[in-house]
Amino acid sequence: MRLHKEGKSTLIIVGIAMIIINGLLCYNAACINTIQIISIGFSVFLFSLFVNFFRNPERITNASTYEIIAPADGKVVVIEKVVEDEYFNDERLQLSIFMSPFDVHVNRNPISGIISYFKYHPGKYLMAFNPKSSTENEKTSIVIKSENGLEVLMRQIAGFLARRIVCYVKDGDTVQQGEEYGFIKFGSRIDLLLPVNTKIHVGLKETVRGGETVIAELST
């Protein structure tokens, strides 16, 4: 299993802490007891959860110029028209994907193009599936402008457990569809703000795979 670079330091710290705790339990006991067995079992289970969270599987992107792929693994929780007042200042179609702690948390570019807008917003840490999280939570907003002039706004939104948003792109960068552009730790959400005439290919509560699932198609 390939691990994401964002998880290496976390796994080292968690691993060392577990070794120390279990080592002290064993050192202070004359023989193996029930508490030690439970502690070791729980440590292995917890460490496995961390490893699972920071996995970074290979993904193959096959999409046309106008197709939009899922920027993350998770469940579609919002498909609705909204008034976007940060960048476009008009009506847009919002599609939101909720990432549980058990999903892959790598964030990928939904289309190819140039980063025409980038802004970080400090904020709260409401549950990521809460509708208010789109406006009130800590987030990073990015707009990708395709070679055809169409623009897609993405928001990485922190959740109740997510306390760190990582973004690897900046204003003016050229990005490729399916390539990694960020990571969010421990439960989060991504909003896509699309033109209102975008054709959606997924439904509410549908599970998608980042870098692979075609979730929408831009109209020319």
How far apart CA 101 and CA 53 sit, in angstroms, is 7
Place of tokens 């008034």: 83
Please name the residue ranges forming H helices in the chain: 8-27, 34-53, 133-136
Alpha-carbon 220 to chain mean position? 28
Tokens of 85: 């007042």
Q: Which residues are catalytic?
A: 188
How far apart CA 36 and CA 25 sit, in angstroms, is 6
Tell me the sheet residues that pair with 98.
75, 189
Cα 191–Cα 192–Cα 197 angle in degrees, nearest 5 = 140
